Amino acid sequence: MVEPELITRRDRPLGRLTLNRPEALGALTTGMCEGMIAALQAWRGDPAAVAVVIDHAGPRGFCAGGDIRTLADSAAGDGVVALNFFRTEYQLDALIAAHPTPVITVMDGVVMGGGVGISLPARYRIATERTRFAMPETGIGLFPDVGAGWFLPKLPGRTGLWIALTGARLAAADCLHLGLATHVVESARLDELKAALATAPDAIDVVLTEFKFDPGHPPIAYQEADIDRLFAGDDLEAIFAALAYDDSEWAKAQLAAMAPKSPLSAKVGFRLIAGGLAPKSLAADLQVEYRLAARLVLRPDFREGVRAVIVDKDNAPAWSPARLAEVSDALVDEMFAPLPPDQEWTPLPEA
């Protein structure tokens, strides 16, 4: 019997959405996004559905992103499948943010890319001691998306930009400190927590307080001053220069993390997070991000990034353009330009 990629069910007053691709670290497919949209729309008008829990099957990770190989295969052709995925994924993210029923996302294990997209719009975001949160998209020729242009600029200081440019992995304490997570619960108690929520879904805050777990001191707290100082530049070149000039081991590590990324993707990420775009809503940001996704997924860097990082795993991508200095402002402008009206992204009517 073939297991469904998404398990949709009701647990008394709780709606339950479980990502069921443990072998792929919960990577999202278009069908999974469509299934979550259908369930959320159905529960929206159901007075007996008091809250929704999004979690995952298996011990390794909540969601490592989208199904990258499928997207890369599509991008090698006409890109229709890839663009449909981004359109649907972003509609799901916007729907979660606008849903009148509280959504509780369990960010246990790996939370990257698409996993971030179905986590940050949720009202409650539960991390565990196994949480590893990251946005590494510039390393495969894409950009920090799924609402990054809305959420990351709101983080303290320049931490949102640092996350986007370095692909840094954050544990539970850092996620709680920055507001990426609202609560931390021990992974061993998650089943107990979900059972308690099903019993008292109208008392979510009380239940979560009872399961509160102290993740310890957030390591990022020691680096916030360095992040704000070294990532304060008005452009990406200034940040690279500041890191290169600083002789600390931490600065060297950030420089090493950023150096292998796609120059075009990094410049797009910088403008999205620190370029002063100031979108008026998550939906407005997702419209801009869809323009970027529609263009970047069809450029050579995406296919080359997937080859180097995921397929051949030689970690030696040949980017085009190859250097930051070769990425003109005009090229970045082109990535952000509006699409033809009939190709623009729009949220679902309910969102």
The two three-digit tokens of residue 324, written as one number: 């930051």
Is 228 marked active-site? no
Separation of alpha carbons 50 and 62, rounded Å? 23
Catalytic residue among 137, 285, 289, 301: 137
Instruction: Decide if 31 is catalytic.
Output: no
Residue 298, class by beta-carbon neighbours within 10 Å (0-12 exposed, 13-18 middle, 19+ buried)? middle
Asked about 275 being catalytic, the answer comes back as no
The rounded distance, in Å, linking the Cα atoms of 265 and 345 is 20
Sheet with 61-63, strands from edge to edge, namely 61-63, 110-112, 132-134
144: three-class secondary structure by DSSP = coil
Q: Catalytic one among 89, 93, 145, 301?
A: 145
Under 8 Å CB-to-CB from 293, ≥6 apart: which residues?
83, 86, 142, 143, 145
Closest CA to 22 of 54, 64, 70, 52: 64
Residue 150 Cα distances to 145, 155, 333, angstroms: 9, 10, 19
137 classed as catalytic = yes
Catalytic residue among 15, 114, 115, 305: 114
The Cα–Cα gap between 304 and 310 comes to 10
Catalytic residue among 35, 61, 65, 66: 66
Q: Which residues pair with 106 in a beta bridge?
A: 126
Question: Which residues participate in catalysis according to the annotation?
Answer: 66, 114, 137, 145
